[in-house]
Structure 1
Amino acid sequence: MHPPVQKAAPPGAASVSGASPDVLVIGGGVIGLVTAWRAARLGLRTAVADPAPGGGAAQVAAGMLAAVTELHYGEQTLLGLNLASARRYPEFAAELTEASGLDLGYRRCGTLAVALDADDRAHLRDLHALQLRSGLESEWLTGRECRRLEPLLAPGVRGGLRVDGDHQVDPRRLAAALLAACERAGVGFHRAAAERLTVVRGRATGADLGDGSRVTAGQVVLAAGSRSGLLAGVPEDVLPPVRPVKGQVLRLRMPDGLPGGVPFLSRTVRAVVRGGPLYLVPRENGELVVGATSEELGWDTTVTAGGVYELLRDAHELVPGITELPLVESRAGLRPGSPDNAPLLGPTALPGLLVATGHHRNGVLLTPVTGDVMAAALTGGPLPEEARAFTPDRFAPGAAGLPASSGPTPSSGPTPPSGPTPSSGPTPPSGPVPPSDPLQAPAHGAAQGPATAPAPQEQPV
């Protein structure tokens, strides 16, 4: 449960009064915004530094709240955190909708994970056994039963797992709602990038911004996504070991309805195709999200012809009719990956500096629990039990680390763009769509090439 609400400052107080905030959050994606909102609701004078708050993961992410189907071998510790956040979502969504006046697109539609060949079927059977051993609810279906649920699935589907406990949210609506809730709660916004952490007598005291200003604060939260490791002034042994993991995602437009009133897809559909995970996420507004690649290419955010081709090719094997749908948007962004691909949450060894980053593919799913964890940390309380394995000190020299997953070490690659920004690196699509940055999504193999995909045509929410 979230901490009790106290009276917050009036809207705009942190910006208008000029008083130093109690909390400065560096980064205005969903993780930074939920931290700021929870802090403000506790009565802490709070400010956010980000040139474009409300961007970040929300502009690219699929928004799957898939704690059960995201389970992988060796990630049982992370499963506990994912489940804790998933359980919070219904109440969190209702509270945020009331606070912002905006709908999040939260849907309890479930997930269907299917197998296209014998090897995939065996893998899903193993996953089902792991889920049951972990106390999770999922149901094994035959191929015929899968097609009864989703008639447009390929006839070659060999079987699948039905997981009704997996839900979804529209990440763009989530970001917009968090931004509105922050503004209503009195959070101040500095629309500039934080370039350097200020440290006085061994304590973090604020940040120097790209517009030449300095913000002094009682506590600083570094929530800058994949760029969290780039902030100058942070001691090397405290700097979060976060790397960018590129992902490409497509958005298609589904038809209004098929003969007999059958929807194109009624729930999230996932599969492993050619060794890489694939997901199709239908939205109530007719949008279909297809993703995602996973590429260790440093700071490159190019949408490639190869990435688009492989996503559409594999999606066609799963749902043959998908290639007839209009392609509305193609985007690429950067997930914030840590060495174990699990988040870093809570205080650091530098007094006054806390971090909330490294969420990798689970940023949207972990938004509610991250807000609660950071609220507890900012007020000096104990971290919730499910979050205690994810403190930043697990990566301190000599620490054993957390075996949440076998994520790669930070890769070499193109150097990041000059001038670190609070949120991770933006996507540079041509056309009217504004840039975005990291995304939460499972991995999917993709070609790596310099070609660009067609410019998107839809303005993000």
Structure 2
Amino acid sequence: MVGGGIVGLAVAWRCRQRGLRVTVHDGGDDDAAWYAAAGMLAPAGETSFGQEALTALLVESASRWAGFAAELTAETGLDLGLDARGTVAVALTGDDLAEAHRLWAYREERDLKVRRLVPSAVRALEPALSPRIRGGAHIPDDLQVDPRRVVAALRAALGDAVVPGRVGELPAGPVVVAAGTGTAALTGLPVRPVKGLVLRLRGEPGLLRHVIVGYADGRHVYLVPRADGELIVGATQEERADFTVTAGAVLELLRAATDLVPELAEFQLTETVVRHRPSTPDNAPLLGRWRDDVIVAAGHHRNGVLLTPVTADLIAGLVDTGRPDPLLEAFAPGRFA
């Protein structure tokens, strides 16, 4: 296994559960996308127009998360921070609400639950929201998890199977490449870095009860509360590969966040994190056999944490049996050849 991020570790864990011997080559410096990820498990929130196969994979993986988390916690005794209270989506202006309704209708057509709410009902769910909110929706099936806790648990479960250090070329096969943006250099496949900035705030626990996905004067922002008072604000998206935290990007996120929840202006800004999403030309992952002895699990774009359980199951099954699950067909690594 090349790559010790959340996807690579989960694949290795599932492979070992099947009785396979695994070695994970892990850079070990937490520079991958999972380290910045907020951990939203929201297939409805990440559904995009025209991506039917990806939507189906997102929904399938979300349905596997509770079982995946329960198994990992049972094995390691570590709490992953799984929360099942759902998402509240909100719109600040009339134009924001029109855009939100268009997205909600698309999701409802695909049997993804969206309960639309008038402003008073939205604020009954989340009293800290601005009185300017024009409307919203509750998405009850969404979950959240703490990716940093998940990676710590997977590392604990795998123990000395995780070997620190990067590889400059692929080791002798069979090998699974789950190296995030590093997959391009190792395989030549079209995986590019997409820069994202995430902020971590800290304040009084309990200000927000749900994940908030907001549309604020044309800006999109999410707020992910943790039980201990930490709150994650994200995320920007730029076609860049640098790690610079710019004042403008921080301002953009904080302005949208405080427009939706004014009390966040009093929270402490504790961390700014830039990482790079591994993205492909169609923003869908590369999953499956690339050549006889090399299997790829990379290019998950914004959905690496959400797609972890289904990726781990499908890739481990392919490694073990040699037979690809039909769910892999749309994500074959050779589709851009």
Q: TM-score, normalised to structure 1's length?
A: 0.71
Aligned to 1:120: 96
CA distance in 1, matches of 2:334, 2:147: 30
For the pair 1:182 / 2:158, whether they are aligned, the reply is yes
1:307: how far off? Answer: 1.1
8 Å contact 2:318–2:325 — kept in the other structure? no
For the pair 1:384 / 2:333, whether they are aligned, the reply is no
CA distance in 2, matches of 1:341, 1:31: 16
Q: What SS does the corresponding residue of 1:104 show, helix, strand or coil?
A: coil
Aligned to 2:255: 313
Aligned to 2:105: 129
Q: What SS does the corresponding residue of 2:23 show, helix, strand or coil?
A: strand
For the pair 1:279 / 2:222, whether they are aligned, the reply is yes
Q: Please show how residues 79-228 of structure 1 align to structure 2 within 5 Å.
A: 79-183=55-159, 188-197=161-170, 206=171, 216=172, 218-228=173-183
Percent identity over the alignment is 47
8 Å contact 1:221–1:355 — kept in the other structure? yes
Counterpart residue identity of residue 388, structure 1? E
Counterpart residue identity of residue 109, structure 2? R
1:53: how far off? Answer: 6.9
Q: What SS does the corresponding residue of 1:90 show, helix, strand or coil?
A: helix
Counterpart residue identity of residue 42, structure 1? R
CA distance in 2, matches of 1:166, 1:303: 30
Higher-helix-fraction structure: 2
Aligned to 1:353: 294
CA distance in 1, matches of 2:67, 2:263: 37
1:281: how far off? Answer: 0.2
1:381: how far off? Answer: 4.2
Measured against aligned partners, the alpha-carbon deviations of 1:25-82 in whole angstroms (never above 9, x if no partner) come to 1110001101111111111111011230766233210000000122121122211000
CA distance in 2, matches of 1:135, 1:117: 27
Counterpart residue identity of residue 260, structure 2? L
Pick aligned residue for 1:295 from 225, 232, 238: 238
Question: How big is the alpha-carbon RMSD for the aligned residues of Structure 1 and Structure 2?
Answer: 1.4
CA distance in 2, matches of 1:134, 1:28: 34
Counterpart residue identity of residue 58, structure 1? W
Counterpart residue identity of residue 175, structure 2? V
Aligned to 1:332: 274
Measured against aligned partners, the alpha-carbon deviations of 1:344-363 in whole angstroms (never above 9, x if no partner) come to 11111x21011000001000
8 Å contact 2:31–2:275 — kept in the other structure? no
Q: What SS does the corresponding residue of 2:224 show, helix, strand or coil?
A: strand
CA distance in 2, matches of 1:387, 1:156: 44
1:386: how far off? Answer: 2.9
Would the alpha carbon gap of residues 51 and 128 (structure 1) be closer, same or farther in structure 2, given more than 3 Å must change? closer
5+ residue gaps, structure 2: none
Q: What SS does the corresponding residue of 1:379 show, helix, strand or coil?
A: helix
8 Å contact 2:279–2:301 — kept in the other structure? yes
CA distance in 2, matches of 1:338, 1:51: 22
8 Å contact 1:110–1:167 — kept in the other structure? yes
Q: What SS does the corresponding residue of 1:303 show, helix, strand or coil?
A: coil
Aligned to 1:248: 197
For the pair 1:322 / 2:264, whether they are aligned, the reply is yes
8 Å contact 1:67–1:79 — kept in the other structure? yes
1:274: how far off? Answer: 3.7
Count of paired positions: 337
CA distance in 1, matches of 2:135, 2:269: 29
Counterpart residue identity of residue 61, structure 2? S
Would the alpha carbon gap of residues 84 and 144 (structure 1) be closer, same or farther in structure 2, given more than 3 Å must change? same
8 Å contact 2:193–2:279 — kept in the other structure? yes
For the pair 1:63 / 2:39, whether they are aligned, the reply is yes
For the pair 1:28 / 2:4, whether they are aligned, the reply is yes
Q: TM-score, normalised to structure 2's length?
A: 0.96
Measured against aligned partners, the alpha-carbon deviations of 1:367-403 in whole angstroms (never above 9, x if no partner) come to 100100111110234333333211112112xxxxxxx
1:152: how far off? Answer: 0.9
Determine which structure has more spread, i.e. the larger CA radius of gyration: 1
Q: What SS does the corresponding residue of 2:254 show, helix, strand or coil?
A: helix
Counterpart residue identity of residue 255, structure 1? E
5+ residue gaps, structure 1: 1-24, 198-205, 207-215, 257-262, 397-461
